[in-house]
Chain A
Amino acid sequence: MIPAIELVGIERRHPGLGGAVVHALAGIDLTVPVGEFLAIVGPSGAGKSSLLNILGCLDRPSAGELRIDGHLVSAMPPKRVADIRNAEIGFVFQAFNLIPALTARANVELPMVYAGVARSERRVRAEEALSRVGLEAKMDRHPNQLSGGQQQRVAVARAIVNDPAFILADEPTGNLDSESTEDVLGIIEHLHRAGSTVVLITHESDVAARAERIVTMEDGRIADDQARRPLAGGLQVRR
């Protein structure tokens, strides 16, 4: 079975002060099987953000190989990488990152716009995704007419609408109150139980505790990698 994500010897170096080189990532090997719910934790400066950017194909590794759903992304031209982001990755950001000028529905449609999906099909699929996060009644609202939790649920709907290889959530509850946090984490767990692969980046241990596997970063390396609890209902296979 092809893993959802496979990292081999991933390094990310930045030029530092005085000609020094900063190793943001110093050799990461990580495999995420399909259907897994993985949390990446660690103190700030440990390399979580760098790893997020690599996993999200927003940044290129300085060395190493990145495979998503079997595709060797680290060797692709920018145009193909964009297509991978579109088809294989469902982003959920701490700051929601909805486009303010667009309605919830239009925001959810956006990944399908870039995938070239026809208007009528986009509409159906966007409504379906919004129903899955419980927002079928607010589809025509603009982001500023929605609460933080609702905005993040729109973002989750946008993340799953193209049926990606994995959901990449970066501190998804960092801007939310406890009630909304519970809401959003509940939806993510629900999606995981339905078969989605989830990578959750967080510095909050109680949020990480919801995952079935926790990878701890330190100084650009994986310091710890442990399964927290048995897989609910065994390894679920998506598709």
Chain B
Amino acid sequence: MRAVDLLGAAARGITGNLTRSVLTIVMIVIGVGSVITLVAVGNGASKQVNDQIAALGASAITVSPGFSTSGAGPQLQPEDAEAIRSSRVATHVASVAPQVSAEKRAVAGSRSVSVTLVGTTSDYFTITNSVIGHGRSLAASDALGGGDVIVLDARSATALFPEGNAVGQTVLVGSTPLRVVGVLKDGGAAQQMFSSGRTIYAPIDRVRSSITGYGSINALSVGAVSPKDVDQAAAEIRAVLALRHGSAADGAAFDISTPNQLRDALGGSAASLDGMLAGVAAISLLVGGIGVTNVMLLTVRERTREIGIRKALGARPLSIAGQFMIEATTLSVVGGALGVVAAFIVTRSPINGIPPVIEPATVGLAAGLSIGIGIVFGTYPAIRASRMDPVQALRVGV
């Protein structure tokens, strides 16, 4: 039997019972489509995590005093910032921004809200990827004018000056009047994930001189030279701090958190989500495969007589098996192709707030799987057909 005739026989088998063929294809479409879509959602979720981390500053390292069970451990000093910045060991550190903070009430006109007042330098905005929306950033020259300036984050700006034009206005922070010189752009979902409050920023010297005092500082934000240098920079920071604070500074004396740790923590949950989605998808693919077996078994049963006739006319067992194998494989390949198309259509809009990201490898995998399903789940019915006893087969329905 020629290959082209084998294909022709299979094609007639498919068109012979179009409804059933279409339903089988739909099963495969759902299976393959959901594999690609769900894996794309998982991908989208982990991409979102990475984007969020990038939005927070992919090379930002935060150093804070660790919690010690024996009471107060070593505290961060402003000199630590200087030491890290000027250390010859810390070659992967680009910039350092010390921070002090205090919870205050901010009053502008008739409005009063609670805010976190952060004393820092303009480097802080660079390190944390914060962008000035209006006005300007903090500047070293602010000290010359007494340093009575603040930069508002988007939320405190909205709360204090709902009508906009915050720049140039005066805000009473605690009892200190400070002039707004800049407003940050909204950091979006990423920053809201990590801080829910309103924050305003002032020059660190100004905050220390009259608000928090000249004690220890709360944290250091350190920018690595590039995102890939983050782990090395963290190690260097640890070394510098150990040198300055002596043996007390080893281990957990200081908490040095990097975006990688964050990514691992968030990525871990994304990975387990991924696994679950892939599992659900695999089950629907399996169900589709069993559907193909079921339909092919029905088809073989329904066409028992035809199989008997074909055998009597000299069809070899392999020709019979081949015809049904090709039918099954064609159904699942068509289903697979349509499933890919369906997945591309479905994933054009966000699913559950996550913009899905289709990975080309998944498409290849799903396409391969659908061919595999046709072969694996079509084999048993095909072999049943090819082994049918022609005498029995011809007796059916006489």
Contact = CB atoms under 8 A, between A and B. Distances in A.
The finding on whether chains A and B are genuine partners in a shared complex, rather than unrelated, reads yes
Interface of A: 53, 56, 58-59, 78-79, 82-87, 91, 93-95, 97-99, 101-102, 110-111, 113-116, 118-119, 158, 162
Contact of B310 (A87, A110, A116): A110
16 contacts: A59-B391, A82-B314, A82-B315, A84-B314, A94-B398, A97-B309, A97-B312, A99-B310, A111-B313, A113-B1, A113-B9, A114-B313, A115-B314, A116-B1, A118-B2, A119-B5
Contacts of A56: 312
Nearest to A102: B12
B5 A82 contact: no
A119 B315 CA distance: 17
A75 B47 CA distance: 67
B49 interface: no
| 4 A-B pairs with least C-beta separation | A86-B314, A82-B316, A85-B314, A114-B314
B238 interface: no
Contacts of B390: 58
Contact of A82 (B306, B309, B311, B391): B311
A83 B312 contact: no
B142 to A, nearest CB: 88
B317 interface: yes
Given A95-B398, A113-B1, A116-B2, A79 B316 contact: yes
A58 B9 CA distance: 22
A14 B16 CA distance: 37
Nearest to B318: A79
Contact of B317 (A58, A78, A116, A118): A78
Contacts of A86: 313-315
Given A78-B316, A82-B314, A85-B311, 18 more contacts: A58-B394, A59-B391, A79-B317, A79-B318, A82-B317, A84-B314, A85-B313, A85-B314, A87-B314, A94-B398, A97-B305, A97-B308, A97-B309, A97-B312, A97-B394, A98-B309, A114-B314, A116-B2
Contacts of B398: 94-95
Interface of B: 1-2, 4-5, 9, 12, 16, 305-306, 308-319, 390-391, 394, 398
A85 B1 contact: no
Nearest to A50: B391
Nearest to B15: A101
B394 A114 contact: no
A25 to B, nearest CB: 14
Nearest to B311: A82
Nearest to B17: A101
A119 B398 CA distance: 31
Q: Which of A83, A95, A113 has the most CB of B within 10 A?
A: A113
Contact of B313 (A79, A110, A118): A110
B313 A93 contact: no
Contacts of A101: 12, 16
Nearest to B8: A113
Contacts of B313: 85-86, 91, 110-111, 114, 158
A95 B398 CA distance: 7
A116 B315 CA distance: 11
Contacts of B309: 97-99
A97 B306 CA distance: 8
A39 B294 CA distance: 45
Contact of A114 (B12, B16, B319): B319
Nearest to A113: B5
Given A101-B12, A116-B2, A58 B315 contact: no
A208 to B, nearest CB: 22
A162 B315 CA distance: 13
B135 to A, nearest CB: 79
B398 to A, nearest CB: 5
Contacts of B1: 113-114, 116
A104 to B, nearest CB: 14
Given A97-B309, A101-B16, A114-B1, A83 B316 contact: yes
A151 to B, nearest CB: 13
Nearest to B305: A97
A114 B312 contact: no
A148 to B, nearest CB: 14
Contact of A58 (B5, B16, B305, B391): B391
B215 to A, nearest CB: 92
Contacts of A97: 305, 308-309, 312, 394
Contacts of B9: 113
A84 B390 CA distance: 14
Nearest to A78: B317
